[in-house]
Amino acid sequence: MLRYTLMRLGVFVGCLVVVWGAVYSGLAPRGLGDSNGLWVVLLALLISAPISFVVLRKERDRASIQVAQRVDRMKAGLDANRNQEDVADDAARAQGQTS
C-alpha cells in the first residue's frame, strides 16, 4: 500500500510541475488574484487522478489483494480466539455440572 501511495504522490508531483510550468509560461490561464497557487494545485489534482487511475491499475490491484489478505488473516485470528474462548467456556461448564 505504501508503494502505491508513493507512486500516486509521484504522479501528482509530476502533474504539479507540468501545470506550474504551463501556468507560468502562459499556456494555461492563471488563477484570479492571489489564488494562483490553489489553482495550480487543483488543476494538478484534476489531471493526476485519471492518469493514476489508468497508469497505476496493476499496482492498485496488487495493493487491494494485500489488504484483502490481511483482513482475512485478522478475521481468521479473531475466529480462532473466539473458538478458544468457547472451548474453555464449554470445558468450565462441563466441569461445573459434573461436580
Mean pLDDT of all residues belonging to the chain: 85
Assess whether pLDDT exceeds 80 at residue 92: no
Return contacts of 41-49, CB within 8 angstroms, 24+ apart: 41/16, 43/19, 44/12, 44/15, 44/16, 44/18, 44/19, 44/20, 45/12, 45/15, 47/15, 47/18, 47/19, 48/8, 48/11, 48/12, 48/14, 48/15, 48/16
Of the listed ranges 3-7, 42-46, 77-81, the least confidently predicted one is 77-81
Assess whether pLDDT exceeds 70 at residue 88: no
Give the pLDDT mean for 59-75: 90
**Over pLDDT 70: what percentage of the chain?**
88
Of the listed ranges 14-18, 43-47, 74-78, 80-84, the least confidently predicted one is 80-84
